Structure formats: C-alpha cells, structure tokens
Chains A and B, each alone.
Chain A
Amino acid sequence: MASDTPLLDELEKGPWPSFVKEIKRSAGKSPKAKDLLGVVEQSYKDKITHWKHGGIVGVTGYGGGVIGRYTDIPEKFPNAEQMHTIRVNHPSGWFYTTKALRTVCDIWEKHGSGLTNMHGSTGDIILLGTDTDQLQPAFNTLTENGFDLGGSGSALRTPSGCVGPARCEWACIDSPHLIYDLTQTFQDELHRPRWPYKFKIKASACPNDCVAAIARADFTIIGTWRDSIRIDQAAVKEYASKGLDIENLIVARCPGQALEYDAKAQKLSVKPQDCLRCMHCISKMTKAIRPGKETGATILIGGKAPILRGAFLSWVLVPFIKVEPPYTEIKELLEKIWDWWDEHGRNRERIAETIGRLGLKDFLKAVDLKPIPQMVYHPRSNPFVFF
C-alpha cells in the first residue's frame, strides 16, 4: 500500500535522528499525532503552513503559558483541528530526575498528543498538541506534580541559565540558583502579562555565554571577575611540553595583548589591567588558567531579534555587580527598568527600542545609574548634544 506521507517518509532516511520517526511513534497511539503528520505532509506538498492565524486559549488564573493553534484543513484532519502548545517551566540548567520526566510523559500521554520539544528556545518544556478542554486538567495535574507553566505573551518569559557551578569550572556566578530565585520571585510578572511587550532574562556564568544571553535576552547577566586570572605555572609547562604553541595560539590571540610568554622559562604572565576577560586563554588552557576570585556579573540590556527596529545585542548597563542571594540589587534594578518601560514603552516595543527612541541618557536617570565609559564602544562623533 502506498504511504500517506511520501514526502515526510524521505526524512526518515539518513543518519541524523528523525523527527518524522518521532511523530510516527506517537501517531501509533494518538489520533492527534497522526493527523498532525497529515497536516505537515500537506504543507510539504503545498509549500505553505496549514495553521490558522493565532489562537487565544489558556488556563484559569493565568494570562499566558499556552499557545493556541488550529489547522486550516480540519475537514481533512479533524483530530488536528485544535493543536495547542503548553509551555512548562523547566528546572534550572535543564537537570532532571527520570522520575520527574516520566511523570511529565505520563501526564502528556493522558492529556495530549505525546509529542514534545525538549526544549523551546527560551528554555521551556514544550508539550506539543492538545485540545482546549484538556488544558485545565493537564495544568491541574502538572501543578499537583510540582511543574508550573512557563511564560508567553507580553510578560516576563521563562528565565534560563547555563549549567554554571553545577558542572563548570569557569562559573563566576551561581546561574542555576539565580535563575530559580528570579523565576520564583517574579511568578506574577511571568504568568499575568501586563507589559508593553515580552521581556526575557538569561544568565551565563562566564563570558563564553553558553545560553547566548547577550543575543537572546532583554536583561542579560554574564559572570565575570574583577581581579586577575589565576595561572598555574606547572600546568603551563605541561601544555608547553605537550606541544601547544602558546606564543601563537594563546598570547598572539589575546585581544587586550595582556599576556606575555617567556618561552625559555616556559612562564606565562598577565597584566590584569589589560585583560578583557574574553575567556580565550582560559578555554584553551583549562588546566593552567582560571578566572579570578573576586567574581560577580556584568549586566547588559536590550538583546532582541530584528522586528521592529533591527536586531540588537545587549549592551553594558552595570559593568560589575555582586551576585549573592537574595539578589536584592538585581531585583531592584529589574523593578526600576520595568516601571520605566511600562510607563514609557509603546505597544509591542521591546526595551531596547524604547531606550533607542527616548535615549540611554534618560533611561539611566530613571534607573539611577551614572554614565561611564564602559557603556560605549566610543563616544559620539556628532555635535548634536543636548544640555
């Protein structure tokens, strides 16, 4: 018998694990997953999406967390007529016990398609495909088992962070704990949208930025240090003896020209005042070089994708801040930022765009920060200056 999904069947071939195989595994048990497969095959034939615009559904008490979705070909695929997504807030660092994961699977087997994304780009567990009448029962069972919904809409979205001190020697801050604490503190802001637009928080524990916080968060927390990198000269010698070209691959690549290498003595030294803490030498000589001991974070603001005024990377707001529970300074700064943005932001205007429109100068005043050179690449070149 000819297959109903000849185009998608092609994507079961090849060495990379196949999402089509995954949909088919669920399709064996769930009519919803089976019809989802049919809708997607139709898209592959027609080369357009077959999901209707938008969809507003949710659970009692919250304004977000569920993405409503309806197919535009329900007559062909009635079980895919409603295909809503539930965002479930992941544990910090995406660590799980199998017991917790199996519980989520059992709940989703009962209330949904059995399909998931592990994970969405913002960090949530994505439960992919259910009906409106299943949302509240699924939510009730999830919270009974310790899982809450993540964010959607014009709200605080689910914060996420790198693995941090749980399994990384470069962690300058406790990113999993910070993210957990901020998520718990701002539950109301996350579940009940009341802002001009979305707002994302991400924390990476060092400038390698393993959660891409500088590009994918409005409020970016990146671990750093204020003293000097720590060099273990015995370990430097070991790298040299094993043939690492320290002069060309480490010293010459240092962006601050802060390193000096005495090849004869096999000794590496640093001028801490010239170090930009870029992580290159640390990343390439993991046994010999470590971040300093006076650790904290740099706070940057404004990262976003292109719509509407162009893409932005977050820029420096606070060069150095101590990061210790209960994180009062960071929380106070967040609240000042939200107050100003909520007051001045236009409909669907991200914080970077509001600052761009009204000026960094006024924003700094509103959040009680003084202008300092670390905030800019270079001073302005034009003379159009307000006093």
Chain B
Amino acid sequence: MARTDIGPPDYRLMLPETITSNYGKWKYHEILKPGVMKHVSETGDELYTVRAGSPRLVSIDFIRDICDIADKYCDGHLRFTSRFNIELMTPKKENVDGIIGDLKKLGLPIGGIGDCISNIVHTQGWIHCHSAATDASGLVKSIMDELYEYFTEFKLHAKLRIAVACCINMCGAVHCSDLAVVGIHTTPPKVNHEKLASTCEIPSVIASCPTGAIRRHSDKNINSVEVREERCMYCGNCYTVCPSMPLADPDGDGVAIYVGGKVSNSRKPPMFSRLAVPFIPNNPPRWPEVTSILKKIVEVYARDSKKYERLGEWIQRIGWERFFALTNIPFTEQHIDDFTYATETFRATTQFKW
C-alpha cells in the first residue's frame, strides 16, 4: 500500500541558502535590465534573479537542461513563476552573465519582468482536452513569435498580460487579462438521441445550460433532450456533463478576443476583460488573423497610453468608442451584452465622444 496524504514536499527544503537566511527581511528590489532583477535585504545581502520564457509544455529533457544551469550557477536551486517562466537566482553578481548565456544557448528568451509582455497563461487545447474549441499551445507560440520583442525589451508604459483559453470554461486568467484569446463555438450541439440516456444524467444536462435552452425531448418515446437552438449560445457546458452532445465543428469553431482586464489593485480596482472581437475562425498552424489584431491593439495602446496605465485603464480613460475607432475594430451586435446583468453595461449618460 502506497503512502497517502503526505502532501507536497516542504518548500523550506527547496529554498536557496540566501533566501532562507533573508526570508522576510527583503528591503527593496531593482529591475536592472530586461529579465534581470536584484533584491536587497536588510542584512545587506543581495539576490540576483534571471527570468526566462518557457513554452510551459516541456519535456523532461528541458527540465534537466535547466537543472544543469541551476547546478552550475545556483547551488542546485530554481523556481517557476505564476506565469510559467523560469527563474534562476544567485547571490553572486558575476554569475548573471553566465546564466543568461547558458539560457540563450538553450534558445530561451530573457525577459518578462517590468513593463513588458510576459509569458501567456494558457491551457490544454488540442494537446489534451476534449472540450477545446481551439488549440492553446499553437496560438501561444504564434502570438509570442509576433510579440517577441515586447517580452525581451521594455516597450510599454505598463505590464501587459495575455491569456489564452481553449474554451469558455476559461481555465486560467482569460477573464482578467489585458489581452485574452478564448476558443468559442458558433454552432449548437448535435444530440445523439440513441446514446444520451445511457451516457448522461438528463436532469444534470438540463441544469447545465445557462440560458435554459435544454429540455426533455417533446416526444415521450425518445428518452433524450432537445435543444431550443434560438436560445443556445454554444457555450458547450452541456457537452462537459454529457458526452452525447458534441458541438466541435471545424468551420464553426474559432476564437474571440477580450481586452482590458487586470487583477492587481494598483490605481484602479481589478477589472474583467471585455469583448473586442466576437469571432475569428481557427486558422492553424499560425492563426495570422488573430496575431495581427493583437499586434495592432498592442501598438495603438503603446502609442496612446500614459505612463503606468494598464490597457484597461487606458480604455476607461479614452472610452470604448475611442478604443474601437483607434483600433479599427468593427463594433457589432455581439458586443452588446444580453446575459443576466446586461443593463448595467448600457450607457446611461449623455457623456460620450463622437
């Protein structure tokens, strides 16, 4: 019998010596250049951190490569960030260039600290998930190739967080990121009436629908459900609870782009990201329509924003009507909310720009 309920290893056994001896004693930090920062302790000790991008989906050989660098320069310690980047830390300033050199030899970008675009928080996509309406890893690779210089250089007035989710379950941070790409369907599920009763719990299927589009089949002889298609907005949650309601569709599936979310409390409270582009069809392997719109938004924001202004704060200041005008993104009926709290999003003032 295996041991159970031991929990994760004690993180204190994983900390580098400089961190153990200065735990809770840090005084300030400085960003020295893209991807490199220095923390200074009350004790006078210094800790240098080098941050590198990672594709998140990595082989054990990749991990071993990073371990080699950590053994060489960091006394066998390293960490990962909440955005899947790699951080190598050393108290020795002279080790920094060696770490950077070895990371670059592996083809890894140095950056992601400060006013830049850091790694993209993303999900499983076609690599591993059954409900994906798009791929995550391929989108992320395509976007980061396009916006690479924003990771390795300081070209923005504030941080810009990008997230990708492959369906509207929005695993990760799509609903609260400066820029977000989310996989969506645009066709209703195709109900498999023969298999539904044996594979699904019908009340759970009915309860899974946010718009009440699903009801018992009107023919009492058919032990299944029917979808009132005019009420269905293709969220796919019925498929999550019932394998007999698939809705993936090569032409109907694609992505939507949301903008202006954030989680930090700096200046303005946290914000949700909001719909900018309702639908772009999937176009693997490079999704060129998606990357070009994202790049356009980033460039307009970089040019028009004030210092320290996050993308959502910039839009709040200039107004959504200006955002759509400046980015040339068409405003459509899909942009207007029609779910539960829709009226709160309508403009109840005469204050607007032409």
Contacts and interface: CB of A to CB of B under 8 A. Distances in A.
Q: How large is the interface on B (under 10, 10 to 19, 20 to 34, 35 or more residues)?
A: 35 or more
A34 B117 CA distance: 32
A102 B67 contact: yes
A69 B125 CA distance: 13
Q: How large is the interface on A (under 10, 10 to 19, 20 to 34, 35 or more residues)?
A: 35 or more
A305 B39 contact: no
Interface stretch (A42-50, A331-339, A364-372): A42-50
Contacts of A210: 82
Nearest to A92: B11
Contacts of A228: none
Given A114-B61, A214-B263, A307 B171 contact: no
A279 interface: yes
A212 B15 contact: no
Given A108-B60, A307-B210, A94 B81 contact: yes
Contact of A11 (B29, B49, B141, B243): B141
B109 A148 contact: no
Contacts, number: 347
A77 interface: no
A23 B57 contact: yes
A61 B4 contact: yes
Residue from B8, B67, B121, B265 with most neighbouring chain A CB atoms (10 Å) = B8
Contact of B339 (A50, A117, A163, A310): A310
B112 to A, nearest CB: 12
A97 B77 CA distance: 5
A166 interface: yes
18 contacts: A22-B59, A49-B125, A52-B243, A54-B130, A85-B128, A95-B14, A95-B15, A97-B13, A117-B58, A121-B173, A128-B128, A160-B82, A163-B79, A165-B24, A188-B5, A278-B265, A306-B175, A307-B168
Interface of B: 1-11, 13-15, 19, 23-24, 26-30, 39, 47, 49, 53-64, 67, 70-71, 76-82, 84, 89, 107-109, 121, 123, 125-132, 135, 137-138, 140-142, 144-145, 148, 151, 168-176, 204, 207-208, 210, 235, 237, 239-241, 243, 246, 248-251, 253, 263-268, 270, 272, 282, 284-286, 307-308, 339-341
Given A148-B5, A207-B265, 8 more contacts: A19-B137, A47-B284, A49-B132, A59-B2, A89-B8, A146-B9, A214-B263, A307-B210
